[in-house]
Amino acid sequence: MKLAALTIDGARRTGALVEADAAVALLPEPLGTVDDLVRGGPDALAAVRAALAEAPSVKLADVRLEAPLQRFNRDILCTGWNYWDHFEESRGKRGGQDPADRPTRPTFFTKGPDTVIGPADDIAYDPALSAQWDYEAEIALVIGRDGRSIPESEALRHVFGYLVANDVSQRDLQRAHGGQWLKGKSIDATMPLGPWLTTADEVPDPGCLQVQCEVNGELRQDASSAQMAFPIARLIAELSQGMTLRAGDVLLTGTPSGIGSARDPQIFLRDGDLVVTRVGGLGELRNRVVRTSLL
């Protein structure tokens, strides 16, 4: 299933995508939000399936899709340097923060949940805050079952589903705060997420998804998740060692090569740019960069 949050006639509803009809089936309001369904586990999904037979539907063109998730347990969990081509393209361009060698274990950081915007929302842009706004197309996953010290062989069973994300980053802020990335990754209203949440049963192999980012029609990033340095199951296993992951936690899995800060000359986002982020089988985000006062 593909679970969506949408606004129709000014009201927020939960729906399930009907791809053959380019429509969304409106789920009964007592079933709750997508966040509720994630935390409800298999029973909640069974209730959705039972409701679909009689659920009215509306055309996708007649609704506004919102970020599927609105209620977060904590900061968004993220993975850095998880495609070796991306790690190598930025070598010597990290403002003196380059590691001596390729990491032997995943690199994790977090970003604030107020970064999250919907699949068609504007990306906030304030050149007074940063001069280096960059794009990062990524696969995001949502944990559906609590677990700590999860074995890698069991890790994918803890995934509820997958989404598309763009970890828009401010590179100068990312380098300016002692080597910690939180500040340059946590500017409000800068991370598109969606367009819906695809349940894990529809993604039998998350290691073969195509990840792309276009800016103003130019393809900037294009890679397979098979190129990840550490596959998704390894990320979950390592992150959960001694640390409980809970249903509703969101984890970004890293970006491939092609980012603006690694190009020569560098290319950063500007007011008016159209950023299209897509992952094969998971959908597409279309977001305009719009100048906004953030200070």
Q: Cβ(140)–Cβ(285) under 8 Å?
A: no
| Secondary structure (3-state) at 253 | coil
Q: Each residue of 59-118: pLDDT tens digit?
A: 999 999 999 999 999 999 999 999 999 989 978 767 767 776 889 999 999 999 999 999
Give DSSP secondary structure letters for 157-189. GGEEEEEEEE--EEHHHHHSSTT--HHHH--TT
Dihedral sign, CA of 190, 195, 199, 204?
negative
First-last CA distance in the chain: 40
Residue position matching structure tokens 């305009």: 288
| For residues 266-291, average pLDDT | 98
pLDDT of residue 222: 98
97 sits in the region (left: phi over 0; alpha: psi -120 to 50; else beta) called: alpha
Task: Specify the pTM.
Answer: 0.96
Homologous superfamily in CATH for domain 76-291:
Fumarylacetoacetase-like, C-terminal domain (3.90.850.10)
Residue extents of the structural domains in the chain? 2-66, 76-291
Structure tokens at 132: 């280096």
Q: Each residue of 124-166: pLDDT tens digit?
A: 999 999 999 999 999 999 999 999 999 999 999 999 999 999 9
Beta bridge partners of 250: 142
Number of Cβ within a 10 Å radius of residue 293: 8
